[in-house]
Structure 1
Amino acid sequence: MAPKRSASKPSKSQAIETSEEKTSELILEPGYMRQYPKTELSDEVSANRLVHTSKERLLVGSLIIFALVIRASNLSNPNSVVFDEVHFGGFAKKYIKGAFFMDVHPPLAKLLFAAVGALGGFKGDFAFETIGDVFPPNVPYILMRQLSAFMGVGTVLFLYFTLRATGCKQSVAFFTAALLVIENGLVTISRYILLDSPLIFFIAGTAYFYTRTEISKPFSFDWFRYLALCGTFLGFAVSSKWVGLFTFAWLGLVNLIRLWFFVGDLSVSVPSIFRHAAFRGAVLLIIPAVIYLFSFYLHLMILTHEGDGAAFMSSAFRIDFDDTTVPKSTSADVGVSSIVTLRHLGTHGGYLHSHDHLYEGGSGQQQITLYPHLDENNRWIIELYNVTSEPFEFVPITDGTKIRLKHMITSRRLHSHDVRPSVSEIEWQNEASCYGYEGFDGDPNDDFVVEIVKDKSVIGEAQEKLKAIDTVFRLRHAMTNCYLWSHETKLPKWGYEQQEVTCATQGIEPLSLWYIEDNVNIYLPLDAEKTGYKQLSFFQKVAELHKKMWHINNGLTASHVFESRPSDWLLLNRGISYWALAPHQIYLLGNPIIWWPASFLFLGYGIYIVVLIFKYQLGYNISISENSFNFNYNTFIFLLGWFIHLYPFFLMERQLFLHHYFPALYFAVLALGHLFQLFSSTFKNRKTYVLYGLIFSASLWCYYQRLPLTDGSDWTLEKCEASKWFSSWDYDCNNFPYENAGNNRPANADQGGIDFNSALKPQVEGFPPQDQQPLVAEPVEQDVALEKDEL
């Protein structure tokens, strides 16, 4: 919005500032029809936005010391696994062992933890299996935690430098950064082996280096350097968590806003605007893309062995592992008497599988499932529906052939009938089972018709007759016309939580597609054609990984005892219990004195902007000073970052937790710093320092009031109860002893305790029921390992 009237000369109060204090500037030049603001700052103001005096270097040094004391001290406590260290410490182990795993996050931050662990002598001989597992002496967990802690300190410095680069004075930047140091939630996540601290550090670096381009001469060496660093940190952020994509979106929007100012600045030539767009677009796209792909290159290069995550990937992906169990080649022609394994195409469930266990429901016949691991129970013998003896020659299976599949281990045949499945009791789904007994030749409910899906099969013979690997087909039940089908639903524990297989008369067609992976037929000649998977390129592997990551991420929809929604985050309704071992507990919770003003700043700013717009429309003179212009621009930019990092979570149906709010909170604190700057520049007296002192004192009091929840130090029941401002802050005060009572705890303290030896292991989906309220949250960023069937 262009101001209706604005003074280009500084006011009297601005004129008495010393040159070192002048950090805001608004130069309006006369245009053809209106005045326009210049986008390039003067050398004086640009210099004053940098750390260039010994006095300020001492100020920054004191900030570093303060942050190190708060965030990097006593990291050895507790000396056991905390919260999602189960996953990210466990992933470090797998990197060191080279065992492939599946995770919903990009690899960069996990690689950093693994590298630090390896440098510290970690050999991958500790599993990080359960919250509360005590670290043995040979695990450099303190060193790994220091990575998070030092990045937390770096985030504080980036906030200080960003505020300075955007026009805040030293005192304001120092005060705001000091508040960030004692934000309890950010302190907690920076003390452990978690992805949040590296992510926020990289986001903070992205914001800082972008602001440095704003105060650098366009197209100078410094400008290119800071633009490249901005792209680099953006690449680091996106490569650590997909939340970095929100930062990418924010950076794209603020660059568009900047280009819009260039368009309005008549002193900037049109070719220069195009160069800005070209260089910014190229650097901020290419560098992050290269870093992102390189992190996956390292990920795949290091993980050379089949681990517990390999089962999620296609067989074509798995054949490059050094110890792959996937057959490198197999007989191409499939015929009668072939012993085959059938792989489901539509899910990552794996192979058509049966075992000598019965359904607890439905017909009570032998179970049919999908199983992700290679196993003898995956093998089936192909028979013709009307032939009871072997043909003693090779007979191919063509499109439309009616066959029976006999389970090789149990000698029962694949079967379906008009009985509802035990789990998916839906009218259009019939049960798929194994049925038969010794000497039984089968019945018509064992008959399935092979229907080759030509547009999914390789062009040529694979579209006319069954070929291993190359032919995609459906199996239609001859009696009921349903199709052998599977989906993500799991059987209960009596079905070993393997994937349900049914026979469906409708439903999503890709879920009824199959192909044969392994094929043995004794009637084929020795020189018979062989086939195998084609080796995937790096980009094909990355694409497949991303499909699985996206699918698994969207599947994290089960309820969790400590989950919360974005509206809860703003109000700081509740936190997350990270760890507990009486009489200590770690519970993630923010500092309300900092949290609430930052989170609800958008309301006051929105009202302020609406009032300005109405005054402008009603014809009032709008006087925009240098300080208010700088406040409006930067507060809008940072609140835009807050909004972009928050709003998408309102649209998500997956599990969400308080720590998902921290990137948005960082931008909100940046905006809060500019509110302090506006106040400081408006009221130039000691009262501002009194206000800062009161706010910092209240924040420091809040920090120390709940410090035992942040670092797991000693506490008492009385102090714990006094710290609970709301009943929704559900940390368990019964875990702590009475004051002046030694280690005596309340009689009911054990009711809230947790047996770490029986803590739940990470699962693909499913969490404790809501009526089970553990004192400590189980890991929430799911490690998606699958347990092997021991049948």
Structure 2
Amino acid sequence: MAGNKSKKGQASGYKNGNDEIVKLEGVQAIDQDTVVDFELKEGPERPYVITEPDAKVSILRSISSHYEKILLIVLTVITLYVRLYKLSWPNSVVFDEVHFGGFASKYIKGTFFFDVHPPLAKMLFAYAGSLAGFEGDFDFKKIGDEFPETTPYTFMRLFSAMTGVITVMFMYYTLRASGIRVWVAFLATVCFAVENSFVTISRYILLDSPLMLFIAAAAYSFKKYELYQSFTLRSYKYLFATGIALGLAASAKWVGFFTIAWVGILCALRLFFFVGDLSKPVSTTCKIAVNKLVFLLGIPFVLYSIFFYVHFNTLINDGEGSAFFTSEFRSTLIGNKIPKKVQSEVGIGSLVSIRHVGTMGGYLHSHKHNYETGSKQQQITLYSHLDYNNNWLIELSSRPGVTLNTFQNLTDGTRIKLFHAETEHRLHSHDHKAPVSSNADWQKEISGYGYPGFNGDGNDDWIVEIDKSKSAPGEAQERVLAIDTKFRLKHALSGCYLFSHKTKLPKWGFEQQEVSCAHAGRPHLTLWYIEANENPTLPWDATRVSYTPHGFWKKFIESHYRMWDVNKGLTASHVYQSFPQEWPFLQRGISYWGEHNRQVYLLGNAILWWSVSMSLFVFVLVVLYEVVAWHLGRPVLQDAHVVNYHIQFIEYFLGYAAHYIPSFLMQRQMFLHHYLPAYYFGILAFAHTFDFIVTYSFRNKRRAGVATALIFTFVCVWFYHNYSALIYGSEWTRDLCKKTQWMDTWDYNCNNFAEAFSDYATIATTTTASATAAPTSAANVSS
């Protein structure tokens, strides 16, 4: 017997030799073993494992003891304190609150914006702000901007903090569901509750904390699902919950798709073992597979689509972000300036705007600024916004500057000049190298050339070539029609084509997109079409056309093309970027905020962080050793506790890998917070190593195991406390700060802090005086 019945504090059951459930209490309940033996049966030709879980496992790994509930209350109080402490400070914009606070403002005002992340987490912040009375009147323009009284930033941060609190509780429940004893799960979760990086991300208006909540919910739900036999009500309940959580995770950030991949891998592995279970018919395995497809892929897709539907129906007013999208998309927005009912027939004398097809970069554009390289003639760019500098007059190359009295169609092969209406320069190419792509000999400069009264020269001549395969069927393939005809402009003298790509001009070119004349390159990057078109020689009742506005699914697909495209393009270097190979070693963090001689700096809890990295590395070595030992005929994995440890660690290790390995494939700028989803699974895996060491390895020296666990937890708490000034933006001194820089790459600037704590009183007085003087100065200026 595992223990005798007593009168107080019942706990969940333990499997004894008579296959009974015995109620345990007190210390026994907290230290209760949750591992049961696997059931082997002898088949006609081989033994096989019964893959359906023992009914007792779910009881052993559920919360029922009064003592455990008390521990949960203690854990909740600790977590609330850690995450809610001085939540209103800093009282100014921190790190990416610039983006996500600003997006919340736009949601409230219904102003369209573009972001590379799915909408759910941003919408939740907007809802939290709206609930607290935020009217979107603060734009979160830059880090350090102080919040006005009308912005309920503390309440918005409170939402983030509460998602962090719930994430901690999910970790505890997940550890219990995967077989860790109560007291070990409690101590491991305390270490997670004071993990500096997770505390930091859960105190500000950032997407990471809601994302981690949804990932944690998915991990917990799936681990609970594994405890119940197939086709039972509870198995369906937790499978459904897993699908919901996966949908929420993917709808917060695309990292959630890695979580879906992790669950998919575990399902595939489990189905593989189902096939080897001779007690389970193939038809049953097929039904389980179908159920998982429906619940774990169908539900997430439905949720993901619903949140985008809400997103599009909330952001109904035109805004700057619409410039990333096609005119068909933009025409669905209220207040858009996309041309409507434009004359369809394009001809000589038409005043047009010319849009690039290949990159969605915008309109052929010029302005009164010259290149600083090459010919130093007037710049020609691609500009994504509607502007009068996008207007071009189509002229016959043989009669430039002559106004025709009758309409003449623009047909395939017509030789034309393009006259920039605002600056009176013509579209021109010559043998100068392209301004940015100067190393590409196949690209030549495009410029604006000429002056008032000058009729141009041969380098201003372009030949229209209609692409019939890309144009609308019918008349649009024979002559140029607005919107419907796709065409190329071939330089008459050199044979190169008007071309644009994603390359941007430097600041002297206002970082607009480069336009060149290409002798090679991808054909779709040389395609153009007419958007706006007006010709005075056409009759008043001439045919007019408009864009066909996109429906939901077209907007959904286009937005994902743009999100993917822009995400890939985030390659610019950043002062606080880091690389995936550095993350397991915690080589550097991220500066979030620095004002008033204080700093917020994202840094992990090095004690837990390095322990996780070491446990992952050591486990790989252990498994390699076991594989070799098995091939040599030595017994391995003979004990149920060892087997359970391997199974749970491997499952979480796969979660770690699924969220970490894709980082090496990404070419965009990366930061330490991109490691946190993988790190979460690493902590779950390490917790099993922690449990295995202090309960199994020390099974004959229980006090030593408990002491080891307590010491490790104490050191994690010590690290959190010692570095808490970087979490909360608190007062600190330079000397104390410098003592904490264990690595040279931990690049928070200790010189930002005051020499002594007493100096902060003077700093506070100076700051208050400056804040008081500022309105007076502003009043004087305005008067």
- The two structures share one fold, judged by TM-score above 0.5: yes
Whole-Å separation in 2 of the counterparts to 1:561 and 1:514: 38
Q: 2:513 aligns with which of 475, 479, 499?
A: 499
Residue 261 of structure 1, CA deviation = 2.2
Q: Which residue of 1 aligns with 2:503?
A: 489
Q: Which residue of 2 aligns with 1:768?
A: none
Do residues 582 (structure 1) and 596 (structure 2) align? yes
Which letter does structure 2 place at the counterpart of 1:463?
Answer: Q
Whole-Å separation in 2 of the counterparts to 1:408 and 1:651: 46
Residue 744 of structure 1, CA deviation = 9.8
CA offsets 1:29-61 (integer angstroms, 9 cap, x no match) = 222333322223333332110001222111111
**DSSP 3-state at the match of 2:252:** coil
Q: 1:403 aligns with which of 408, 416, 420?
A: 416
Q: Which residue of 1 aligns with 2:185?
A: 173
**DSSP 3-state at the match of 1:381:** strand
Q: 1:702 aligns with which of 719, 738, 743?
A: 719
Whole-Å separation in 2 of the counterparts to 1:665 and 1:657: 13
Residue 622 of structure 1, CA deviation = 3.1
Whole-Å separation in 2 of the counterparts to 1:170 and 1:287: 33
CA offsets 1:506-533 (integer angstroms, 9 cap, x no match) = 1122111100001111111222111121
Do 1:98 and 1:304's aligned partners in 2 also have CA atoms closer than 8 Å? yes
Q: Which residue of 2 aligns with 1:781?
A: none
Do residues 279 (structure 1) and 291 (structure 2) align? yes
Residue 231 of structure 1, CA deviation = 0.3
Which letter does structure 1 place at the counterpart of 2:385?
Answer: H
Structure 1 stretch 103-112 or stretch 36-45: which is displaced more? 36-45
Which letter does structure 1 place at the counterpart of 2:279?
Answer: S
Cα separation, partners in 2 of 1:578 and 1:519, compared to 1, 3 Å: same
Do residues 418 (structure 1) and 431 (structure 2) align? yes
Q: 2:46 aligns with which of 34, 38, 50?
A: 34
Which letter does structure 2 place at the counterpart of 1:414?
Answer: L
Correspondence 1:106-117 to 2 at 5 A: 106-117=118-129
Which letter does structure 1 place at the counterpart of 2:458?
Answer: P
Q: Which residue of 1 aligns with 2:575?
A: 561
Do 1:736 and 1:745's aligned partners in 2 also have CA atoms closer than 8 Å? no
CA offsets 1:677-732 (integer angstroms, 9 cap, x no match) = 22213423111110011101111111111100011111111110111101110100
Whole-Å separation in 1 of the counterparts to 2:721 and 2:44: 59
Residue 492 of structure 1, CA deviation = 2.2
Residue 442 of structure 1, CA deviation = 1.7
Q: 1:604 aligns with which of 609, 618, 622?
A: 618
**DSSP 3-state at the match of 2:41:** strand
CA offsets 1:214-269 (integer angstroms, 9 cap, x no match) = 11232122111111110000000001111111111100000111112222222222
Whole-Å separation in 1 of the counterparts to 2:227 and 2:343: 67
Q: Which residue of 2 aligns with 1:739?
A: 756
Do 1:737 and 1:744's aligned partners in 2 also have CA atoms closer than 8 Å? no
Correspondence 1:507-518 to 2 at 5 A: 507-518=521-532
CA offsets 1:129-176 (integer angstroms, 9 cap, x no match) = 010000111111111111111111111111111111111111111111
Do 1:239 and 1:295's aligned partners in 2 also have CA atoms closer than 8 Å? yes
Correspondence 1:473-484 to 2 at 5 A: 473-484=487-498
Which letter does structure 2 place at the counterpart of 1:314?
Answer: T
Whole-Å separation in 2 of the counterparts to 1:351 and 1:622: 68
Whole-Å separation in 2 of the counterparts to 1:656 and 1:32: 55
Q: 1:435 aligns with which of 449, 460, 463?
A: 449
Q: Which residue of 1 aligns with 2:201?
A: 189
Structure 1 stretch 674-683 or stretch 320-329: which is displaced more? 674-683
CA offsets 1:265-294 (integer angstroms, 9 cap, x no match) = 222222221111010111111100011111
Do 2:362 and 2:382's aligned partners in 1 also have CA atoms closer than 8 Å? yes
Do residues 724 (structure 1) and 724 (structure 2) align? no
Correspondence 1:363-382 to 2 at 5 A: 363-382=375-394
Q: Which residue of 2 aligns with 1:656?
A: 670
Whole-Å separation in 2 of the counterparts to 1:640 and 1:422: 48
Whole-Å separation in 2 of the counterparts to 1:10 and 1:17: 11
Do 1:570 and 1:600's aligned partners in 2 also have CA atoms closer than 8 Å? no
Residue 11 of structure 1, CA deviation = 9.8
Q: 1:292 aligns with which of 304, 310, 313?
A: 304
Do residues 217 (structure 1) and 229 (structure 2) align? yes
Do residues 305 (structure 1) and 322 (structure 2) align? no
Structure 1 stretch 301-310 or stretch 735-744: which is displaced more? 735-744
Whole-Å separation in 1 of the counterparts to 2:611 and 2:641: 21
Q: 1:618 aligns with which of 619, 626, 632?
A: 632
**DSSP 3-state at the match of 1:456:** coil
Higher relative contact order (CA 8 A, sep 6+): 1
Do residues 393 (structure 1) and 398 (structure 2) align? no
Residue 347 of structure 1, CA deviation = 1.3
Cα separation, partners in 2 of 1:740 and 1:85, compared to 1, 3 Å: closer
Whole-Å separation in 1 of the counterparts to 2:536 and 2:21: 97
Which letter does structure 2 place at the counterpart of 1:585?
Answer: Q
CA offsets 1:176-224 (integer angstroms, 9 cap, x no match) = 1111001001110011000111111100100100111111232122111
Which letter does structure 2 place at the counterpart of 1:331?
Answer: Q
Whole-Å separation in 2 of the counterparts to 1:741 and 1:124: 39
Which letter does structure 2 place at the counterpart of 1:642?
Answer: Y
Cα separation, partners in 2 of 1:477 and 1:274, compared to 1, 3 Å: same
| Count of residue pairs brought into register by the alignment | 738
**DSSP 3-state at the match of 2:601:** strand
Do 2:601 and 2:748's aligned partners in 1 also have CA atoms closer than 8 Å? yes
Given the two structures, how large is their TM-score scaled by the length of structure 2?
Answer: 0.92
Do residues 472 (structure 1) and 486 (structure 2) align? yes
Which letter does structure 2 place at the counterpart of 1:363?
Answer: S
Whole-Å separation in 1 of the counterparts to 2:92 and 2:43: 67
Which letter does structure 1 place at the counterpart of 2:87?
Answer: L
Cα separation, partners in 2 of 1:99 and 1:623, compared to 1, 3 Å: closer
Cα separation, partners in 2 of 1:678 and 1:29, compared to 1, 3 Å: farther
Whole-Å separation in 1 of the counterparts to 2:509 and 2:656: 46
Which letter does structure 1 place at the counterpart of 2:749?
Answer: D
Instruction: Could you tell me which runs of 5 or more consecutive residues in structure 2 were left unpaired when the two chains were aligned.
Output: 1-14, 764-773, 775-783
Q: 1:644 aligns with which of 643, 646, 658?
A: 658
Cα separation, partners in 2 of 1:633 and 1:17, compared to 1, 3 Å: farther
CA offsets 1:85-132 (integer angstroms, 9 cap, x no match) = 000000000111111111110000000000000111000000100100
Given the two structures, how large is their TM-score scaled by the length of structure 1?
Answer: 0.91
Q: 1:354 aligns with which of 360, 366, 385?
A: 366
Structure 1 stretch 356-365 or stretch 465-474: which is displaced more? 356-365
Whole-Å separation in 2 of the counterparts to 1:391 and 1:45: 88
Which letter does structure 2 place at the counterpart of 1:553?
Answer: N
Do 1:404 and 1:448's aligned partners in 2 also have CA atoms closer than 8 Å? yes
Whole-Å separation in 1 of the counterparts to 2:373 and 2:530: 30
Do 2:188 and 2:713's aligned partners in 1 also have CA atoms closer than 8 Å? no
Do residues 124 (structure 1) and 141 (structure 2) align? no
CA offsets 1:302-344 (integer angstroms, 9 cap, x no match) = 1111111111111111001110100122111101101110001
Whole-Å separation in 1 of the counterparts to 2:45 and 2:198: 50
Do residues 522 (structure 1) and 536 (structure 2) align? yes
Which letter does structure 2 place at the counterpart of 1:672?
Answer: F
Which letter does structure 1 place at the counterpart of 2:152?
Answer: P
Whole-Å separation in 2 of the counterparts to 1:579 and 1:485: 42
**DSSP 3-state at the match of 2:332:** coil
Structure 1 stretch 150-159 or stretch 416-425: which is displaced more? 416-425
Which letter does structure 2 place at the counterpart of 1:259?
Answer: L
Which letter does structure 1 place at the counterpart of 2:532?
Answer: D
Q: Which residue of 2 aligns with 1:764?
A: none
Q: 2:586 aligns with which of 572, 578, 584?
A: 572
**DSSP 3-state at the match of 2:501:** strand
Whole-Å separation in 2 of the counterparts to 1:15 and 1:283: 33
Q: 2:35 aligns with which of 8, 24, 33?
A: 24
**DSSP 3-state at the match of 2:469:** helix
